[in-house]
Chain A
Amino acid sequence: MWRSASLRLAALYTLAFTAAVAVLGLVTLLTTRAALSQQFDARILSESAALAQEFRVEGVLGVADAVQERDRTPGALDYGLEGPGGRPIAGRLAGRRAVAGWSTLRMAGAGGEREKVRLHAAALVGGYRLLVGGDDEDIDAVDDLLARRFALATVGVVLIGLAGGYGLARGMGRRIAALTDAAEAIIDGDLSRRVPATRSGDDLDRLAATFNRMLDRIATLMESLRQVSSDIAHELRTPLTRLRGRLEASLGRPAGAERTSAEESGALEGALADLDAILATFAALLRIAQIEGGARRSGFQAIDLAAISRTVVEAFAPSAEDAGQRLELERPASVVIEGDRELVTQMLVNLVENGLRHAGPRACVRVGCCVQRGRPVISVSDDGPGVPASERERLFDRFHRLEASRSTPGSGLGLAMVAAIAKLHGAEVSLHDAAPGLDVRVTFPAGAGTL
């Protein structure tokens, strides 16, 4: 799930929103607190000023009366009047040795509970001091309330963010999965698949539409490629059939009568052999094109690599022996894969013929099939001169032939066909140094085989 880009994005956004909500909460808290404190202080100062005025007009007794009266009023502030030397005269706050100016005092409240009082001590004429203060717990209560609400809001933001992110990721995931599925199907050779589009017309839909247009284009190209090869095959086979017929007729076959001189018939037989070589190359090219088009995927069935290896080795061993070479089968454990029997057989035949042709006289070619790290492997190795590392990659190119083998017959298409057949099966072809000789391995995808 964490591999989903949309979910990661949603998580990132949730985190950013949470941080923003937290900052907003903090700023609100501080601002509210500052405003409330300021308001509270202003109230204390205005009371203090009013009492100081009373002192100037009414004197000590007048203020003391006022202080006592206010002290008794419920919901009012706390007051105190001290004489010179801090002697308490009236009020709850008197005699508690508060410093001049602003201070905070902890004292027992009316009901015995501890309370925190913020107070202001103002000096009056004659050594008297006037104290006005109040419990600022209300401000703390407001702070607490705000903090709790914001914490709740933050949790809400996180929950909404996660739920939204999950939903977004699911929705996006489904649409991206549809895109991936279509692409996979096309890789597997189903060129008719298209990506379904929703009606929202958003960027993903535009991507899907672009993707589908690209697929249309690829399908057109593939179709024209297929059409071209089929046209070539169709257009050329009639003249080639005529040509072959004429050559055969000129040779005196099928009548059996020798109508031509030995020299002429030699030339005609040469021409016929050349024509057959051209036809073989041509057929191989068309076959490779068809295999690369993925046409045969539908013909896949369970096939046993060991049985195919045995058939091919048995088929080629006598002719190898006649040429003074050896062809051996190693480790014939049963390995079943999903594949095309005819094509896998041809792949192995091409590899065996290639090995026998290039390994030289008295060489030994070994065919093996086994399961390595869960993957079915066919290997064909020889003890011939091998292939230089620099040449190995190009070995599978069409018409590529090693310098050393230019003089021997061969179309240079055998290994290109091996590569095409391997690719159709999702298999990898790798070349290894058998020291001496070449070891060609075809490794099928894991899970394709069972022992």
Chain B
Amino acid sequence: MKLLLVEDDRETAAYVKRALTEAGHAVDHATDGRDGLLLAAGETYDVMVLDRMLPSIDGLAILRTIRASGVKTPVLLLTALGGIDDRVEGLEAGSDDYLVKPFAFAELLARVNALARRPPPQDVQTTLQVADLEMNLLRRTVTRAGKRIDLQPREFQLLEYLMRHAGKVVTRTMLLEAVWDFHFEPRTNIVESHVSRLRAKIDRNNAKELIHTQRGAGYSLREPD
């Protein structure tokens, strides 16, 4: 994927750029708001990673400007630690996701991957399928190899999110935000307990496990290699 990174701290930018490149992405880097805006408006990217606080033009201003000129590229906003209004302000300015700085690299990578090539909103899906696991979004039913699986509403939401991001790594924080709408980090690892219950229902008595734990990163739902 082709990514734009707008980050003023050269060392952090170099590290993030190197890591994203190693993960197989092409990364353009701008160190201030002006360059960032020029690149964002001029080039086509799959995902933009925008630091909120930048010299010359800040991240929110860039975001508003490119959104106003019709650029629909998914944007991941990097926000300051502890800024409780930052998320709302970012969403209002047109960001698709946010990440509090400093972040774990795995978190950044997972979110960048999740943002890329999202199906357009008008393309309404009624069923999701991964291997022999099928989900009917209208009837709210799930079957594995044709056998019906009963899920709690929250388990259904959790599975739906995993299936929509099938093949990609989904972090604990992403699940907390998407499934529970928790925009803070609880001390208890509640995701693990929910995933293990879901796994028990989906993967029990099946030779092929679909829900995988990515050590140090999160979970992914995919057909085993």
Q: Say whether B84 contacts A296, CB under 8 Å.
A: yes
Q: Say whether A245 contacts B106, CB under 8 Å.
A: no
The answer to the question of A155 belonging to the interface, with a C-beta cut-off of 8 Å to chain B, is no
Q: Which of A217-240 contact B (CB under 8 A)?
A: 229-230, 233-234, 236-238, 240
Q: Say whether A316 contacts B190, CB under 8 Å.
A: yes
Q: Say whether B84 contacts A321, CB under 8 Å.
A: no
Kindly list chain B residues whose C-beta atoms are within 8 Å of the C-beta of A255: 19, 22
Q: Say whether B193 contacts A321, CB under 8 Å.
A: yes
B1-38: contact bitstring with A at CB < 8 Å (1 yes, 0 no)?
Answer: 00000000101100110110011000000000000000
Q: Say whether B85 contacts A237, CB under 8 Å.
A: no
Least Cβ–Cβ distance between B193 and chain A, in angstroms: 4
Q: Say whether B85 contacts A244, CB under 8 Å.
A: no
Q: Say whether A283 contacts B188, CB under 8 Å.
A: no
- Roughly how many angstroms separate A243 CA and B12 CA in the complex, as a whole number? 9
A411-451: contact bitstring with B at CB < 8 Å (1 yes, 0 no)?
Answer: 00010000000000000000000000000000000000000
Q: Say whether B182 contacts A254, CB under 8 Å.
A: no
Q: Say whether B83 contacts A282, CB under 8 Å.
A: no
Least Cβ–Cβ distance between A169 and chain B, in angstroms: 44
The answer to the question of B53 belonging to the interface, with a C-beta cut-off of 8 Å to chain A, is yes
- Roughly how many angstroms separate A283 CA and B81 CA in the complex, as a whole number? 6
Question: Which residue of A242, A254, A291, A357 is within 8 Å of B109 (Cβ)?
Answer: A254
- Roughly how many angstroms separate A289 CA and B82 CA in the complex, as a whole number? 9
Question: Which residue of B12, B102, B196 is within 8 Å of A279 (Cβ)?
Answer: B102
Kindly list chain A residues whose C-beta atoms are within 8 Å of the C-beta of B216: 253
The answer to the question of B146 belonging to the interface, with a C-beta cut-off of 8 Å to chain A, is no
Mark the stretch among A86-94, A129-137, A345-353, A396-404 that contacts chain B.
Answer: A345-353
Q: Say whether B12 contacts A254, CB under 8 Å.
A: no
Q: Say whether A283 contacts B82, CB under 8 Å.
A: yes
The answer to the question of B154 belonging to the interface, with a C-beta cut-off of 8 Å to chain A, is yes
The answer to the question of A154 belonging to the interface, with a C-beta cut-off of 8 Å to chain B, is no
Q: Say whether A241 contacts B102, CB under 8 Å.
A: yes
Kindly list chain B residues whose C-beta atoms are within 8 Å of the C-beta of A296: 84-85
Q: Say whether A291 contacts B188, CB under 8 Å.
A: no
Q: Say whether A241 contacts B193, CB under 8 Å.
A: no
The answer to the question of B116 belonging to the interface, with a C-beta cut-off of 8 Å to chain A, is no
Number of interface residues of B (CB under 8 A): 44
Q: Say whether A282 contacts B186, CB under 8 Å.
A: no
Kindly list chain B residues whose C-beta atoms are within 8 Å of the C-beta of A319: 188-190, 192-193
The answer to the question of B93 belonging to the interface, with a C-beta cut-off of 8 Å to chain A, is no
B59-82: contact bitstring with A at CB < 8 Å (1 yes, 0 no)?
Answer: 000000000000000000000111
Least Cβ–Cβ distance between B78 and chain A, in angstroms: 9
B105-120: contact bitstring with A at CB < 8 Å (1 yes, 0 no)?
Answer: 1100100000000000
Kindly list chain B residues whose C-beta atoms are within 8 Å of the C-beta of A299: 85, 88
Kindly list chain B residues whose C-beta atoms are within 8 Å of the C-beta of A282: 81-82
Q: Say whether A287 contacts B12, CB under 8 Å.
A: no
- Roughly how many angstroms separate A291 CA and B102 CA in the complex, as a whole number? 21
Kindly list chain A residues whose C-beta atoms are within 8 Å of the C-beta of B18: 249
The answer to the question of A109 belonging to the interface, with a C-beta cut-off of 8 Å to chain B, is no
Q: Report the nearest B residue to A411, measured CB to CB.
A: B187
Q: Say whether B82 contacts A233, CB under 8 Å.
A: yes
**Interface size of A as a range:** 35 or more
Kindly list chain B residues whose C-beta atoms are within 8 Å of the C-beta of A311: 180-181
Kindly list chain B residues whose C-beta atoms are within 8 Å of the C-beta of A345: 181-182
Q: Say whether B194 contacts A245, CB under 8 Å.
A: no
The answer to the question of B41 belonging to the interface, with a C-beta cut-off of 8 Å to chain A, is no
Least Cβ–Cβ distance between A348 and chain B, in angstroms: 11
- Roughly how many angstroms separate A285 CA and B100 CA in the complex, as a whole number? 15
- Roughly how many angstroms separate A287 CA and B86 CA in the complex, as a whole number? 12
Q: Say whether A346 contacts B190, CB under 8 Å.
A: no
Q: Assess A233 versus B80: contact at CB under 8 Å? Given A283-B100, A316-B188.
A: yes
Q: Say whether A280 contacts B185, CB under 8 Å.
A: yes
The answer to the question of A35 belonging to the interface, with a C-beta cut-off of 8 Å to chain B, is no
Q: Say whether B12 contacts A242, CB under 8 Å.
A: yes
The answer to the question of B183 belonging to the interface, with a C-beta cut-off of 8 Å to chain A, is yes
Q: Say whether B80 contacts A353, CB under 8 Å.
A: no
A294-312: contact bitstring with B at CB < 8 Å (1 yes, 0 no)?
Answer: 0110010000000000010
Kindly list chain B residues whose C-beta atoms are within 8 Å of the C-beta of A346: 182, 184
Q: Say whether B184 contacts A342, CB under 8 Å.
A: yes
Q: Assess A248 versus B104: contact at CB under 8 Å? Given A299-B88, A349-B186.
A: yes
Least Cβ–Cβ distance between B21 and chain A, in angstroms: 10
- Roughly how many angstroms separate A358 CA and B22 CA in the complex, as a whole number? 44
Question: Which residue of A246, A249, A286 is within 8 Å of B81 (Cβ)?
Answer: A286
Q: Say whether B190 contacts A245, CB under 8 Å.
A: no
Q: Assess A315 versus B180: contact at CB under 8 Å? Given A233-B81, A282-B82, A295-B84.
A: yes
| 14 residue pairs A–B, Cβ–Cβ below 8 Å | A234-B53, A236-B81, A237-B81, A238-B9, A244-B103, A248-B19, A248-B105, A284-B82, A287-B82, A289-B82, A295-B85, A315-B180, A315-B194, A318-B196
Binding site for A on B (CB under 8 A): 9, 11-12, 15-16, 18-19, 22-23, 53, 80-85, 88, 100-106, 109, 152, 154, 180-190, 192-194, 196-197, 216
Binding site for B on A (CB under 8 A): 229-230, 233-234, 236-238, 240-246, 248-249, 253-255, 276, 279-280, 282-287, 289-291, 295-296, 299, 311, 314-316, 318-319, 321-322, 341-343, 345-346, 349, 353, 356-357, 409-410, 414
